[in-house]
Structure 1
Amino acid sequence: MNQHVPTARLEADVAPASEIVRLVDVRRRFGATQALGGISLGVAKGEILGIIGRSGAGKSTLIRCLNGLERPDSGRIEIEGRDIAGLAEAELQPLRRRVGMVFQHFNLLAAKTVAENVGLPLKIAGEAKAKRATRVAELLDLVGLAEKAEAYPAQLSGGQKQRVGIARALAAHPALLLSDEATSALDPETTRQILALLKDINRRLGVTIVLITHEMEVVRAIADRVAVIEAGRIVEEGPVWRVFARPETDLTRSLLAGIRPELPAEIAGRLSPAPGAFAVVRADLVGAGAGTLLGDLAAATGRTAELLHGGIDQIQGRPVASLFLKIPAQGESLAEARRVLDARGGTTEVLGYV
């Protein structure tokens, strides 16, 4: 499903005041290769948006268009209401200071100290030395590296280098922070720390964040909304809890395969497509009813549904259940169970019979 910004808004000359980013039918080709095939997307002020897709889907081209390093062939890219697609390089410079960038491989200058790396954008912008020093000290304290101000990148761990990169990206008080696979080179524990830092920065500073990633765990950890990109197009978009609970495309289901519960192979191998005594059903449900589902099914059908696999996760403060149930297939038990789930906004899929 491709949920774009409504047409009336796309055709408006000025983006809503609450939007930091607005893309309208953005297209980019490299020779015969289509990198972006008509991306339309809005990002609200203070939002964390995750853009996820496989390698080659167009994520890197999209983020380079957002920071002005790539020019689209057509379409509009508005940052704080100003279309940057047609700006000359000199006009782009002040705008780039409103867009901070966090890179996968840190991109720190080895010959400069941590403080000098963080202050570099301010030096380029012509800030006075004393003012730079004050801002650098604030930022290093924010990212927990105040004691490393005079260290060099070679003396830092990967997580510390990324904290320096985040501080540098925030130096010029950006309205938008772009994260390009910022945790891909880090171990799981360090990844959790960096994501917690980004979430804290979003909460404390109100900065809007766009995360480019191929990791659904990253999206689940901190994003408010997710857009799934394939072959240069957005194929699915929505709140993280909704996309995780009810993915609508094969691509999204594939990307979620390592996170979302799947029927164990030893059970799946025993399933038959022919109707039998019991149906094996996948049930997905969001909300308060997720925790009482088995009891609700028993009360409605008079028969106990056996839990084969699955569980309940908390995503954006919502209980999200993905359960594999063994339900009697005779009589009305199965039909009634499906009605119970439908009434609660859940979805069911009969996977086979045993």
Structure 2
Amino acid sequence: MNSIVPASAIERRWPEGAVDEIVRLVDVHRRFGETPALDGISLTARRGEILGIIGRSGAGKSTLIRCLNGLERCDSGEILIEGRKISGLSERELQPLRRRIGMIFQHFNLLSAKTVEENVALPLKIAGVARTERLDRAGELLDLVGLADKAMAYPSSLSGGQKQRIGIARALAAGPALLLSDEATSALDPETTRSILALLKDINRKLGLTILLITHEMEVVRGIADRVAVIDAGRIVEEGPVWSVFAEPQSAVTTSLLSGIRPQLPDHMARRLSQTGGTEAIFSVDLAGPAAQGSLLSDLSAALPHSFRLVHGGIDHIQNQPVARFFIAVPTRDAELPARVQQFLTARSARVEGFGYDTDHA
């Protein structure tokens, strides 16, 4: 019989000798014909961490998650779960390892003919856990996800958010070390998405559970992840703490994925910019940490007294870190002023990019 960690336990208790790295991928490759789905992926996720893996459709996210749970075999490289290599394991040898991995899905995958309680308890029934114990466990988990009163209901009577909560409870049934979330909020409205993300964060905090979020939504990553890895064409093109990646994206893919939630130059202004000259030079300025809440613009005005304009932008807070992005307009009457402004800002840890010249502002 399996030993199951109580859902009510809030302490982070680990077996003697437990490894700190729950997931480790080393130079993982997977091809389908001539197409590389994973092209040298190396990645780690530590115990208790929430790691967001984000990319466009076709980037390799689905193949990656299938390799992690053993449904796909990588062609080369190593995948380790709790320090154990899964490549080369037989299907029978993979079964106990899969019980250490919980899965939640975009479309819930609940069995319509079974009650909520039976859906949650199903993994334990398959694992041979006694009926009394598995129903007790289901009750604990339904209480954890806030749906204890729905134990005897059927999935057809539940909302999308409730179905996903049941899916989360089922994924936790065997007391996994790793929870894989495969686009788990994509089918939900924004308000429900926020509630599901809050639930996952609460579970992570209470149980110390490692969570890998596979998503194409930067809002999801911003909501709860500790780190983010950006995947494109089967490769990790960027990774780091969420606040750092949001503040200073290094790849074009990341910049594109962030375009919907970071301040952008308003369309009406972008359309009238010229690359050859105008009355004002337009710059974007990115800052993070203490510099984002400092007196940079007032310092700039004091050092270079001219009529600068703040045209757009704002400050966000990600992982309790201030992250700022704003756009300024610099007069071009003094031909050297734009370069001096850029030099001043860069010297104070700002990331500065020239967007062109405003031809219409007088």
TM-score, normalised to structure 2, is 0.91
CA shift for structure 1 position 220: 0.6
Question: Quick one: distance in 2 between partners of 1:114 and 1:144?
Answer: 13
Residue of structure 1 equivalent to 2:154: 152
Specify which of 106, 109, 112 is matched with residue 110 of structure 1.
112
Residue of structure 2 equivalent to 1:293: 296
Residue of structure 1 equivalent to 2:326: 323
Specify which of 280, 304, 309 is matched with residue 306 of structure 1.
309
Residue of structure 2 equivalent to 1:215: 217
Once superposed, what is the RMSD of the aligned Cα atoms?
Answer: 1.4
Q: Does 1:334 align with 2:334?
A: no
Question: Quick one: distance in 2 between partners of 1:305 and 1:287?
Answer: 23
Residue of structure 1 equivalent to 2:208: 206
Q: 1:224 touches 1:316 (CA, 8 Å); kept in 2?
A: yes
Question: Quick one: distance in 2 between partners of 1:353 and 1:220?
Answer: 32
Q: 1:297 touches 1:304 (CA, 8 Å); kept in 2?
A: no
Residue of structure 1 equivalent to 2:9: none
Percent identity over the alignment is 69
Q: How many residues align?
A: 339
Question: Quick one: distance in 2 between partners of 1:167 and 1:49?
Answer: 20
Counterpart amino acid of residue 201 in structure 2? K
Alignment of 1:265-304 (within 5 A): 265-291=267-293, 292-304=295-307
Query: What SS does structure 2 have at the residue aligned with 1:228?
Result: strand
Residue of structure 1 equivalent to 2:56: 54
Question: Quick one: distance in 2 between partners of 1:286 and 1:177?
Answer: 31
Alignment of 1:146-185 (within 5 A): 146-185=148-187
Counterpart amino acid of residue 186 in structure 2? S
Residue of structure 1 equivalent to 2:34: 32
Counterpart amino acid of residue 166 in structure 1? I
CA shift for structure 1 position 127: 1.2
CA shift for structure 1 position 331: 6.0
Residue of structure 2 equivalent to 1:95: 97
TM-score, normalised to structure 1, is 0.93
CA shift for structure 1 position 86: 1.1
Specify which of 7, 17, 20 is matched with residue 18 of structure 1.
20
Question: Quick one: distance in 2 between partners of 1:322 and 1:147?
Answer: 46
Alignment of 1:122-137 (within 5 A): 122-137=124-139
CA shift for structure 1 position 328: 2.8
Residue of structure 1 equivalent to 2:352: 348
Query: What SS does structure 1 have at the residue aligned with 2:22?
Result: strand
Alignment of 1:58-77 (within 5 A): 58-77=60-79
CA shift for structure 1 position 132: 1.1
Deviations 1:180-218 (A, max 9, x none): 000011111111110110111111111000000011111
Q: 1:140 touches 1:149 (CA, 8 Å); kept in 2?
A: yes
Question: Quick one: distance in 2 between partners of 1:113 and 1:345?
Answer: 57
Query: What SS does structure 2 have at the residue aligned with 1:90?
Result: helix
Counterpart amino acid of residue 343 in structure 1? A
Counterpart amino acid of residue 300 in structure 2? L
Q: 2:291 touches 2:349 (CA, 8 Å); kept in 1?
A: no
Query: Which residues of structure 2 form unaligned runs of 5+?
Result: 1-17
Query: What SS does structure 1 have at the residue aligned with 2:268?
Result: helix
User: Higher mean Cα deviation, 333-342 or 23-32?
Assistant: 333-342
Residue of structure 2 equivalent to 1:13: none
Query: What SS does structure 2 have at the residue aligned with 1:24?
Result: strand
